[in-house]
Amino acid sequence: MKLSRTFLPTLREVPADAVIVSHRLMMRSAMLRKLANGLFAYLPLGLRSFRKVENIVREEMDAIGALEIKPSVVVPGEIWKESGRWDTMGDGMLRVKNRLGNDFVISPTAEEAFTTLVRDELASYRQLPLTLYQINTKYRDEIRPRYGVMRGREFTMKDAYSWHTDDASLDMTYEAMGKAYRRVFKRCGLTVIPVRADTGAMGGTGSEEFMVESEIGDNTLILCRSCDYAANVEKAACKPDFAAPADLAAAQVAAARTPAIQKIPTPSVRTIEELCAFLKTDAGSFIKTLVYKAVNVETDLSAAPGCGKLALRSASADAPKTYPAAFFAVAIRGDLDVNETKLAAVLKASEVELASDADVERLTGAPLGFAGPVGLSGLPVVADESVTALSDAVTGGLASDLHFAHVAYGRDFQAWMVADVRVAKAGDACQSCGGELYEKKGNELGHIFKLGYKYTRSMKVSYLDEQGKAQVPTMGCYGIGVDRTLASIIEERHDDDGIVWPMTVAPYHVALVPIKYEGAMKEAADKLHAELEALGIEVLLDDRAERPGVKFKDADLIGIPLRVVIGDKNLPKVEVKARTDKDSRLVDAASAAAELAAIVRAELAVLEA
């Protein structure tokens, strides 16, 4: 390709709204142009690298037996109502009506579409396992799109979905996907951190994210300095720093040694910090009680305090009963924080949020700052595991200016549910090896889920087993963000001069830069260009009437791995320089094509091994 025949409007100045490296360099190197906030167009150079990432993903999906399809991007709202997510996805999902007034969705994700397609065709166990995938456009109406294609409104994802007769089959595909993802990111030249993760709005049980370290990452990763433990902070657990009783009876035995509960006047003392100063003790001696509102709760609350009269609704007759809203009191040791993602997961809720001040006072009968689990009626108490180890604690007294001392779990109150809902943080001990945990910021590139029966049950998917009985298949979900992967390569691989592409996703392998595109230099450049193309090497010939310095800067900016300078002074030799090297070397023009091809193939082989 001759540069004069392509569209490469490179920029010297950085656009004002481009605040991260990948956004700046993608704009400057003419990979992207902005159409609107969160909406971008790929120009020819950017599209070449985008397609290479896309093809790497496609090749690895095909290699494990996944089958590519292409559903529409606009899908009926009816199928989202079937799954129950029409009302739970929030404002990020773009809903539209057609001229007949029918509801449609601009796909933010594709579980419903794929499940509908399979449901309509699945008949026998002989058709399973089945894995289908797409590489297609998505739209999420982000409140604040930023960082270029790292967090845009429209983006491209690879979604794969699998259906199975049993968990063993699902496990096999889940493991195969994990290995395929590792190959995808290796071929893209990326260093990824696989971490345990929360399944979030997608639902399901097992989940693993593939992260890249990033200063502007949306995710906090918790890692161990001594072993390979890694988790998103939303899922991370740590080794307990307490000895929890084996069961409620054991807690009651410990409580029997604690003095009777005592009322302590605490005028105007509301916060943990104020209590520590007032009682001259530490936060680890307190039970902190917070009231949360949970939305679309699928946990059975029929026997929970105060929940029996809540209205129930279902996405369909076979879907789990859902409480549109329910309130919970969450008790946790005073020096710890509640992990709201963990809390939502244990409650099987789409989301949780702190209750309003008015709701807290209404539900506890106490002013703000004086809530506690002792004597609390009408609210289910979710106790963090740390609370079960407290046999002599201080907590709110459910009245103004009052706290209780000598509170013992099991004697003075019990929990409707005990679970790990604490935030694990840097400095905690690893649950696997006891080593010290530390934090990193990261961006998610891929995510794999074991969805289980969440969608197949609610959307009535079934097949006939070997005995001719109807069964419901279990399901998996596997996604990779193509745009975000491309941007992350640039975030990891750049220098002060521009992008430093790995050979696998570079828009071209070789840049030919004649000092002047005329005479002997033109003849040598054209000859080398033809030889490289005949060898299957992608080459960009800079035939512009520009100064050599401009050509060199553009070649470095767009990051082509190999640069060949052709000048009168060196012919019949040419000057070869790798993008990662400081110095160039002279090579005979007659053998340059073969030597360059060998370098390209060797680098490709290393990344694709």
* pLDDT score for 296: 80
CB 384 within 8 A of CB 416: no
Give the whole-angstrom CA distance, residue 306 versus residue 328.
10
Give the whole-angstrom CA distance, residue 48 versus residue 31.
9
Collapse the DSSP code of 343 into the 3-class scheme (helix H, G, I; strand E, B; otherwise coil) and give the result: helix
Nearest to 452 by CA among 477, 419, 428, 415: 477
CB 495 within 8 A of CB 554: no
CB 198 within 8 A of CB 207: yes
Give the whole-angstrom CA distance, residue 504 versus residue 546.
29
The set of residues, in sequence order, having a beta carbon less than 8 Å from that of 544 and lying 6+ positions away, is 3, 4, 517, 551
Helices 21-28/482-492 angle, 10° precision: 100
* pLDDT score for 317: 46
* pLDDT score for 238: 93
- Residue 520 tokens read as 């002997």
pLDDT tens for each residue of 371-397 = 999 999 889 999 999 999 998 999 999
* pLDDT score for 67: 98
**CA dist 5 → 44, 282, 321, 544, 605 (Å):** 11, 72, 62, 10, 31
Using CB atoms within 10 Å of the CB of residue 36, give its burial: 0 to 12 exposed, 13 to 18 middle, 19+ buried: exposed
* pLDDT score for 185: 97
The answer to whether the bond into 380 is cis (omega within 30° of 0) is no
69-74: which pairs have CB atoms within 8 A and are 24 or more residues apart? 69/117, 69/132, 69/133, 69/134, 70/134, 70/136, 71/107, 71/110, 71/113, 71/114, 71/117, 71/134, 71/136, 72/113, 73/106, 73/107, 73/136, 73/137, 73/138, 73/139, 74/104, 74/105, 74/106, 74/107
520-524: which pairs have CB atoms within 8 A and are 24 or more residues apart? 520/568, 520/571, 521/566, 521/567, 521/568, 521/571, 524/566, 524/571, 524/572, 524/574, 524/589
Q: What is the DSSP letter of 204?
A: -
Give the chain's domains with CATH numbers.
48-70+109-237+439-490 (3.30.930.10), 248-419 (3.90.960.10), 508-608 (3.40.50.800)
- Chain-centroid distance, C-alpha 412: 42
Nearest to 292 by CA among 340, 343, 322, 327: 327
Helices 589-608/167-187 angle, 10° precision: 150
Residues facing residue 402 across a β-bridge: 265
The set of residues, in sequence order, having a beta carbon less than 8 Å from that of 306 and lying 6+ positions away, is 327, 377, 378, 379, 380
Q: What is the largest CA-CA distance in the chain?
A: 100
Reduced to 3 DSSP states, what percent helix, strand and coil does the chain have, rounded to the nearest 5?
A: 30, 30, 40
Collapse the DSSP code of 541 into the 3-class scheme (helix H, G, I; strand E, B; otherwise coil) and give the result: strand
* pLDDT score for 280: 87
Give the whole-angstrom CA distance, residue 313 versus residue 317.
9
Reading phi first (left if > 0) and then psi (alpha if -120 to 50, else beta), residue 90 is in left
Enumerate residue ranges in the chain where pLDDT < 50.
Answer: 199, 201-204, 308-319
Nearest to 142 by CA among 36, 35, 38: 38
* pLDDT score for 455: 92
* pLDDT score for 531: 97
* pLDDT score for 32: 96
CB atoms within 10 A of CB 179: 12
Amino acid at 81: K
CB 504 within 8 A of CB 188: yes
* pLDDT score for 419: 93
CB 530 within 8 A of CB 593: no
**b vs e for 155-172, b when ≥16 Cβ sit within 10 Å of the residue's Cβ?**
bbbbbbbbbbbeeebbee
Nearest to 281 by CA among 372, 374, 395: 395
